A and B are shown apart, each in its own frame.
Chain A
Amino acid sequence: MKNKIITILFIIIVCGLFLLNIIVKDIDISDSERRYLTKFPDITLSGLLDASVFASIEDYSSDQFVWRDYFRGLKAWVQYNILGKLDNNNLFIEDGQIIKIDYPLNINKVNTFIDKMNLLYNTYLKDMNVYYSIIPDKNYYSSNKYLKIDYDLLFSMVNQGLDYMEYIDLTDKLELSNYYYTDIHWKQETLDEIVDLLSSSMGFKIKDKDYKRHEFTEFKGTYYGQIGLKVPFDKLTYLTNDIIDAASVYDIESKLNTVYEESSLGKMDSYDVFLGGSSALIEITNNSNTSKKELIIFRDSFSSSLAPLLIEGYKKITLVDLRYMNMNLLSDYITFDNQDILILYNTSIINSSDMLKIF
């Protein structure tokens, strides 16, 4: 009797899920994981002979499995509650914050970052006002219960390697509450002290801090789906004032012409509301500023939410993302002529510096 029941249940589960997988329509995008799901591959003779088609089918079958999100949630639950894992897929939750462990510190990558910044400086930035700063990832501020990279070593290596530039230390001005619960980035509305520190260090002035707050309450950050567990929506706030509203934007990759791209809200990455997301080169022009003061930021995505708060201090801010643009092309787009320079990267980028297209 026992084996009869086992046989029937096994057949129901295996054949039932097989049929459901055949019947249920494929999904293009996973909202929870914020990524495109694998589609059924094209079958070609060469693909069959070298078995590459079947490798794609492997990805397809797990990506398009019915109730995928529930199964991923179950796995995460088992990992945390049955197997007692401290993290799942390198993510853990502390005080409601989903935090990623970016471990271990890759000394070679940090050295490569330093070499790349030196080359950038020697090629374009000599005799200019060059500042640099490092944004710690969230794990810097988590409790010591979890695994962390050796932040002290990372900071001291970069400080030593770039000691001829002026360093602005942001670490004391940030804490966990400055970051989104479900995302890697910092919250724009909490960057007041960061803006003050930059303005006092770099010599520009921000007077109008009377911002109008716009809130999006269904924000699902990068880690929202990755963690696998059911977590509440995050809140994304973006700030405007007359100067930000009046600023014009030029993006070499898209037709973006406003500081905030509100159509991104609720889409795969709502953080793209800040300057439309990743782009090789963006210029923000402050039409109300009569000075000729300009700022160039070599940056990652953290600066997308910071730059609008700095625009009052400059006539123009140029944001350069060297992950998407080769350094050799810079002279085609920028005339380096006594602008302020801010090199601003988060620790994750420094720890995986291959992505910077400098050499």
Chain B
Amino acid sequence: MVFSSITFLYYFLPIVLIIYFIIPNKFKNLCLLISSLFFYFYGEGKFLIILLLSCLMNFIYGLLIDKYRNKKLAKIVFITAIVTNIGLLMYFKYLNFFIDNINNIFNTNIPFLNIVMPIGISFFTFQTLSYVVDVYTNKVKASKNLIDFCTYVSLFFQLIAGPIVRYSDIDDELKKRKCSFDEFGSGVIRFIIGLAKKVLIANELGSLVSLLGNIPDKAILTYLIIAVSETLQIYFDFSGYSDMAIGLGKMFGFHFLENFNYPFIAKSITDFWRRWHISLSSFFRDYVYIPLGGSRKGILKHIRNIFIVWFLTGFWHGAAWNFIIWGVYFGILLIIEKYLLKDFLDKHRIFSHIYTLFLVLISFIIFNSESLSEIVVFLKSIFGFNNLPFSNFSTIYYLRSYLVVLLCGIIFATPVVKYWQKIFSKPKLRYIGSFLEISGSMLLLIIITAFLIDASFNPFLYFRF
């Protein structure tokens, strides 16, 4: 089930809200757990067993590590936990990729396995991994309540497309949380903003990309618009989902950390990654980069650590070479920035923004390509090495037709809404601001409903990760 669907908005959510706010506090986690398991079962059917297995396994690991703390058995359990969690991910996500590459390199004919990847496995596996590591390193106490723990892993707000929530972040709220009109209302606003980002911008840009992709006589401008649209699409799709997750969390009394912070206003690639998919980059920072020594053990080891982290970041996004190249591409850029460009970028602000946007745009061409040859064709076309005309009628037609959506995408990728909110929070304008917020959000909800009812394009890009 996806948040941007009629079934979620007008069946699942009202039923869960009604039950959740009627029942006594002691049953609220059970209510969230049952609804989350149904939410997963609705989309994934029998793969619910994998989720339950992961929950149970990691709950037991946590208890055992806690019980045998400071003993050898705790380390054995910890290593077992890491191996089984990563093993689960390897089997469902990467096994066929390895088989394919072994066949190509050694000219063998190992048959592919009939494996379907359960949606969200990358997200919930990383959550359980962070839990096990945090319990082992004594950063968090092991959960003694199976229902609370399963609720943490399977919370439908963030189960299938993140953000990656750490147990330590919501440990207290799992036990006790407050719900108020203030929290609920601001959660609603955040949820509707996320929905609007997804339905009115990301889906529309996705449709533009698809239409441009079908043009038989492409021009340089066609590739340029595809590159910009895809970059914006993935941002609005994913940050929209994160907004919805954060908003839903607030409605039910949880406070998740921000996952995006206007990444396109970044003034370097380093800055970009502090603003993009924050929960993933902080996961790799805390659980891979720092344990490897970070930047404290000399230049060579620092470079090695950056490469490992960015190889893994790329590989986490998908079992394909373009994702690995994408990750390594950022690794190289980050090394160059840290050792060569940092001072220059700090001094030249306008250049640094253009530089960042350009490199991010190129990165998403790599990210969205389905093969290495596609990356080459795209880059050659966009830089005018494929003898294409600059423009043509079909491209201009679609550009005209989607111009407002594209402009909205560009404008709302900047903190303009935040700026407006700041202006309207001044005492003189507060009432106007409140009126605009109330009427605007409800109008958006109705328009989004109309788009969902007549939807023809609604995939979530980050589900495949």
Contacts and interface: CB of A to CB of B under 8 A. Distances in A.
B362 interface: no
A62 to B, nearest CB: 5
B215 A13 contact: no
Contacts of A103: 214, 394
Nearest to A14: B14
Interface of A: 1-7, 9-11, 13-15, 17-18, 21, 48-51, 54, 57-58, 61-62, 65, 68, 71-72, 74-76, 78, 82-87, 89, 103-105, 107, 146-147, 228
Contacts of B186: 3
Contacts of A65: 6, 10, 453
Interface in B15-62: 15, 17-18, 41-46
A147 B10 contact: no
A10 B188 CA distance: 7
Given A62-B6, A72-B454, A83-B204, A7 B181 contact: yes
B343 interface: no
A7 B456 contact: no
Contacts, number: 136
Interface in B369-397: 393-394, 397
Interface of B: 1, 5-7, 9-11, 13-15, 17-18, 41-46, 181-186, 188-189, 204, 214-216, 393-394, 397-398, 400-405, 434, 437-438, 441-442, 445-447, 449-456
Contacts of A6: 185, 188-189, 437-438, 441-442
Contacts of B188: 3, 6-7, 10
28 contacts: A2-B185, A3-B181, A3-B182, A3-B188, A4-B181, A6-B188, A7-B181, A9-B438, A9-B442, A11-B17, A14-B14, A14-B17, A18-B14, A18-B15, A48-B45, A54-B42, A54-B43, A61-B11, A62-B455, A72-B453, A74-B447, A78-B447, A78-B450, A83-B405, A85-B404, A86-B400, A86-B401, A147-B397
Contacts of B18: 15
A294 to B, nearest CB: 41
A-B CB proximity, top 6 nearest: A3-B185, A51-B45, A75-B450, A18-B14, A2-B434, A6-B185
A36 to B, nearest CB: 17
A61 B7 contact: yes
A137 to B, nearest CB: 17
Contacts of A48: 41, 45
A110 to B, nearest CB: 12
Contacts of A21: 10-11
B442 A71 contact: no
A243 B42 CA distance: 61
A51 B119 CA distance: 13
Contacts of A15: 14, 17-18
A104 B216 CA distance: 7
Contacts of A50: 45-46
Contacts of A54: 1, 7, 42-43
B13 A14 contact: yes
Given A71-B453, A75-B453, A83-B405, 5 more contacts: A5-B185, A49-B45, A71-B449, A74-B450, A107-B216
Nearest to B46: A49
B6 A18 contact: no
A61 B6 CA distance: 6
Contact of B185 (A4, A57, A84): A4
A154 to B, nearest CB: 12
B15 A228 contact: no
Contacts of A87: 401
B450 A147 contact: no
Contacts of A89: 454, 456
B7 to A, nearest CB: 5
Contacts of B438: 2, 5-6, 9
* Residue among B181, B450, B452 with the highest chain A CB neighbour number at 10 A: B450
A163 B204 CA distance: 44
Contacts of B14: 14-15, 18
B399 to A, nearest CB: 10
Contacts of B46: 49-50
B453 A85 contact: no
B404 A83 contact: yes
A352 to B, nearest CB: 14
B76 to A, nearest CB: 36
B184 to A, nearest CB: 5
A51 B48 CA distance: 11
A72 B10 contact: no
Nearest to B431: A2
Contacts of B400: 86
